[in-house]
């Protein structure tokens, strides 16, 4: 760890002299800090055990660096797209990539210090210990030294996964981490993976001026509504991104000219070439060195720690939260799960993990955001389903912005009219999805949502129009008539 990131009290001689901590938290990222702070606020003594750079994935190599780079790419695209307004022209380009990367790094280091390292001295109940941790029968070993604790929370996060493609180990591929550390922009890039990490980074690089090809086994964002996948694919192609979806990976190799990936598409072999290769096929949990099998902590097929609705593992007194578990892989859900784990560990397992109204966002352009059940999920759970699909050319905000890429889809129970879920694909969809989350939280019907008052010329007004679409043709309404 960088010396300036260590809290001032972490190396005191008596740091491990306590007989037993109330709680040991393994992992000093978002989930680990959430658990430690929650416990300290309740008066508990906490050993927070970190290994490597403090702060975990989100601030160091995930949300913070990627989103600031995506905003930069969005600024480039916005200038180039000015021509959609009659009488305007615009252009923008990257003229100092290293300076942009340096600014990203500065933001990361500032937030890491302010929101992680500097917080530790504010909590007297937290003792920070640096070192690799492993479970043993009585508690935790940190660099082979014992740390006794009444309860343990594992929050060691995850890392980029690498698919078993023949030849991939011989290629100097990029991951979501190393892509954002490049000192120079490549001329061309193949992106393996059409999930949320793959699509975000692919579009970002394309907007930076890189020739991008995305290849994936299914479709873009395979877990979302198919209408959204199709619309996002159209938006990508319009920006010059090449897509090969529904393929299988045959092999890859690298030579002095770049990377070659061979795929099977429609029964034919297709050979794709680019200067660099980005692997963005999800993440795997950091569990290999924790001694879980010996400790009796169950894992699933991908190595994730299995937890129940109380965040308990299969071993009494051991909890887990965040990307290391088989739960939702979002930083805010990691923090939420860790808070529940801490409270349950200290107070008797009364709290239950609830993701029924968990919103999620993919920061592409347009943004994709959803909450609740998809149409397929609603049918699979036994609902008699009705849906509405509203394209953005029916939303006044999109018309005024001259950007009608996207749609809103709502899913409801046909018998009760209660909303079950929905997705917004729109330039400002991320900032609108919480409204839909609240409608689900409080059991609203489509009729009630359609009767609410929304401000005119906003993206979120599209939710009202989508709700009205269940019963009427909103194209026949005058402005604000609904």
Binding site per annotation, positions: 67, 193-200, 282, 323
Q: Quick check: 174 and 182 in contact, CB under 8 A?
A: yes
Classify residue 475 by its DSSP letter. Answer: G
CA 11/CA 136 separation, integer angstroms: 23
**What is the per-residue DSSP string for 66-130?**
HHHHHHHHHHHHHHHGGGGSTT-------S-HHHHHHHHHHHHHHHHHHHTGGGGGG-TTEEEEE
Cα dist. 265→104, 215, 247, 270, 356 in Å?
38, 10, 5, 7, 37
Q: How many CB atoms lie within 10 A of CB 356?
A: 11
Separation between Cα atoms, residue 166 and residue 189, nearest integer Å: 19
Instruction: Enumerate the known binding-site residues for NAD(+).
Output: 193-200, 282
Which residues pair with residue 215 across a beta bridge? 192, 244
For residue 239, the 8-state DSSP code is T
SS3 336: helix
Return the exposure string of 407-439: e unless at least 16 CB atoms fall within 10 Å of the residue's CB, then b. Answer: bbbbbbbeeebbbbbbbbbbbbbbbbbebbbeb
Residues in the chain: 482
CA distance 284 to 137: 26
Cα(413)–Cα(107) distance, rounded to whole angstroms?
A: 45
Rounded to whole angstroms, how far apart are CA atoms 283 and 21? 32
* Alpha helices, H only, 306-395: 331-347, 375-380
- d(CA 113, CA 182) in angstroms, rounded, equals 23
CA distance 459 to 465: 10
Strand partners, 468: none
Contacts of 148 (CB under 8 A, 6+ apart): 18, 19, 20, 21, 138, 139
Query: What beta strand segments (E) does 315-454 contain?
Result: 318-320, 360-362, 367-372, 385-391, 407-413, 419-426
Closest listed residue to residue 463, CA positions, set 363, 354, 342, 372: 372
Beta bridge partners of 237: none
Annotated binding site for FAD: 67, 323
């Amino acid at each position: 760890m960088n010396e300036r990131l260590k809290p001032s009290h972490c190396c005191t001689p008596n740091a491990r002299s306590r007989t037993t901590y109330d709680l040991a938290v393994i992992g000093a990222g978002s989930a680990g800090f959430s658990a430690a702070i929650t416990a300290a606020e309740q008066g508990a003594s906490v050993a927070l055990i970190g290994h490597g750079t403090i702060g975990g994935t989100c601030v160091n190599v995930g949300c913070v660096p990627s989103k600031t780079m995506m905003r930069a790419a969005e600024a480039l695209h916005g200038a180039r797209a000015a021509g959609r307004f009659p009488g305007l022209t615009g252009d923008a380009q990257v003229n100092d990539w290293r300076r942009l990367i340096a600014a990203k790094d500065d933001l990361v280091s500032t937030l890491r210090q302010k929101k992680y390292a500097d917080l530790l001295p504010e909590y007297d109940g937290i003792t920070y210990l640096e070192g690799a941790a492993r479970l043993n029968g009585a508690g935790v070993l940190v660099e082979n030294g014992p740390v006794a604790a009444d309860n343990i929370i594992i929050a060691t996060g995850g890392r980029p996964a690498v698919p078993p493609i023949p030849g991939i180990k011989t290629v100097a591929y990029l991951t979501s981490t190393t892509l954002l550390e490049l000192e120079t922009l490549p001329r061309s890039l193949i992106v393996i993976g059409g999930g949320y990490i793959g699509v975000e980074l692919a579009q970002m690089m394309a907007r930076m001026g890189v020739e991008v090809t995305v290849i994936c086994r299914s479709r873009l964002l395979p877990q979302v509504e198919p209408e959204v996948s199709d619309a996002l694919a159209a938006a990508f192609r319009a920006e010059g991104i090449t897509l090969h979806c529904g393929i299988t990976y045959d092999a890859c190799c690298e030579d002095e000219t770049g990377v070659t990936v061979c795929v099977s598409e429609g029964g034919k072999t297709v050979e794709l070439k680019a200067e660099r290769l980005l692997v963005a096929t999800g993440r795997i949990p950091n569990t290999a060195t924790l001694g879980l099998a010996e400790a009796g902590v169950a894992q699933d097929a991908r190595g994730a720690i299995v937890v129940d609705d109380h965040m308990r593992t299969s071993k009494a007194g051991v909890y887990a939260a965040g990307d290391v578990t088989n739960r939702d892989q979002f930083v805010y859900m990691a923090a939420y799960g860790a808070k529940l784990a801490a409270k349950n560990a200290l107070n008797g397992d009364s709290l239950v993990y609830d993701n029924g109204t968990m919103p999620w966002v993919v920061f592409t352009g347009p943004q994709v955001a959803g909450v609740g059940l998809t149409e397929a999920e609603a049918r699979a759970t036994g609902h008699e389903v009705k849906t509405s699909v509203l394209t953005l050319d029916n939303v006044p905000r999109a018309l005024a912005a001259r950007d009608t890429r996207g749609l809103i889809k709502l899913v409801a129970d046909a018998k009760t009219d209660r909303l079950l879920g929905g997705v917004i694909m729109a330039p400002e969809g991320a900032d609108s999805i919480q409204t839909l989350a609240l409608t689900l939280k409080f059991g609203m019907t489509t009729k009630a949502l359609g009767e609410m008052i929304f401000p005119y010329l906003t993206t979120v007004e599209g939710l009202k129009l989508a709700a009205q679409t269940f019963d009427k043709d909103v194209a026949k309404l005058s402005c604000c008539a609904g």
